[in-house]
Amino acid sequence: MESSRKDRINILKSEIKDQLEQKAELLKMDKDTSSLDSELWEKSKEVYTLKAQEKGDLKFEGLIFTVGLTPKPIILNILAVRPRYVYFICTHKSREQLNRIKRETGLEEDQFKVVIMEKDTMYRSFSLVKVGLQYLHEQNGVEYDKIAMDITGGTKMMSAGCGIAASKFNIDILYASNDQYDPDKRVPTPGTEKILVIPNPVKTEQIKAVKPDNTISIEPVTIFISYATKDTDLFKIRHIAELLAKYEEIQDVIYWEEHMTENMIKFMSRWVGQCDVLILFCSENTLHSIPVTKEWTAGDAINKPIIPIFYDVEHIPPLLRSRLGVEFDFYDIESNAHEMFSRIIKTCKARKSV
C-alpha cells in the first residue's frame, strides 16, 4: 500500500511537471490555459491527499477554519483530513467562498457551521473560536484532542486570535504549506503543496511557561465599577463583582447597586477618590449616561487608572480609546473576570514601578 501510494505520487508529479511546461508554452503564445489549470488543480488535490495519508497522524474529527479570499488551502485540508464537522470563521466577503468549498469537498449542510466576524479584532477571533469549540465538542461530541485549527486563510487578526486560542485550549494547528512558490502569481507551484501539523507548544513543552512578574508587590486594591444601570444584566455586573472579590489581591469591589441607599453624588465623590482602579463597562447606554460620564471623567481628572470593558470599540468614550481594555465575552463570564483581574494587576504594578 505504501509503495503504491508513493508510485502514484511520483506519477502525478511527473504529469504535473509536463503540464506546467505545456502551460508555459501556451502562455508564450497568449493562449487559454483554463483547461490545463483545472487538470493541474485536480492532480494537486490528489497529491496533497496522498501526502497527508503518508503522514498517518491526521486523526482530527473537527476542524476550525479562518476563511480568506482563497479557498484552495481549505479545500485541500478538508480533503486530506476528512473531518466529521467543520466550523468556519468568515468575513462578509470571504463567506462567498463557501459555495466552492462545499462543492469540492462534498460537505453536507449538517456537517458545518458558519459564523461572521463582524469586527476584525484579535479579541473577536478568540471569542469565535470558543463558540466553535462549543459547536464541535458540546453539540457534536468531538473530543478536544480530535480538534485542530487551520489558520492558513483569513485576516491577520483572525490568525492572531486563533493562535492565542490554540495555545490556551491546547489545540493543534494545521497549515497548508508548500515546497515551491511562484512569486509572480503569488501561488504555490502545483503539486508542491503539503500539510503541516503544528502541535501546541504547551503540549510538547517546546516553550516553558512564562512565570509571572513577582518582583513588584502591590497592596490589596479597591476597584470601582462604573456602568449604566440599564446594562446590569447585560454585563452580569453582580457576578463579575463577586468573581473579582475572590482574588486576594483585591480588597473591595464597589458598584452602585450595592450602595443604593447612599446619595449618588456622595457615593461617586467618596469611592472614585478612594479607589485604586476604575473599571468602565462600555455600551451605547454608557455614552448617554450622565452619572457614568461624571464617574469616569472625575477619575480621569485625578489620574485614576481606567480600564474600558467593551464589546464594540465604538462604545468606548473617544478620550479613553487609547487605554488598554478588555473585550467582553458574553459566553464566558469567568474568563472575563480573570482578564479584568490580570489587567488590574498589570496596571497597578506599572503605576508602582514608575
List pLDDT tens digits, range 140-170. Answer: 999 988 999 998 888 888 888 888 888 778 8
- Residue of 275, 280, 286 lying closest to 315 (CA atoms): 286
Q: What is the pLDDT of residues 165-206, one digit of tens each?
A: 887 788 889 988 888 888 777 788 999 998 988 876 555 544
Are the CB atoms for 303 and 275 separated by under 8 Å?
Answer: no
Question: How large is the average pLDDT for residues 98-124?
Answer: 90
- One domain for residues 244 and 158: no
Task: Please indicate, yes or no, whether residues 246 and 298 belong to a single structural domain of this protein.
Answer: yes
Percentage of the chain beyond pLDDT 90 is 53
Domain match, 154 and 11 both? yes
Q: Is the dihedral of CA 192, 195, 200, 205 positive or negative?
A: negative
Q: What is the CATH number of the domain that holds 292?
A: 3.40.50.10140
Q: Name the pTM for this structure.
A: 0.61
Of all helices (H) and strands (E), which one includes residue 120? Answer: none
Q: What percent of the chain has pLDDT over 70?
A: 92
The confidence band for 243, taking pLDDT boundaries of 50, 70 and 90, is very high
172/60 same-domain check:
yes
Total domain count, the chain: 2
Strands annotated E in the chain: 62-66, 85-90, 112-116, 147-150, 172-178, 181-182, 187-188, 193-198, 221-226, 250-254, 277-281, 306-310, 326-327
Which CATH number do you get for residue 188? 3.40.50.10770
Q: Which domain holds residue 68?
A: 2-204
Residues 6+ apart with CB under 8 A from 293: 317
Let me know if residue 215 belongs to a domain. no
Q: Is residue 214 part of a domain?
A: no
Same domain, 55 and 162: yes
| Total number of residues shown for the chain | 354
Question: Residue 288, CB half-sphere, CA atoms under 13 Å: how many?
Answer: 5
Q: Is pLDDT above 60 for 210? A: no
168/263 same-domain check: no
Q: In the predicted model, is pLDDT for residue 211 greater than 70? A: no
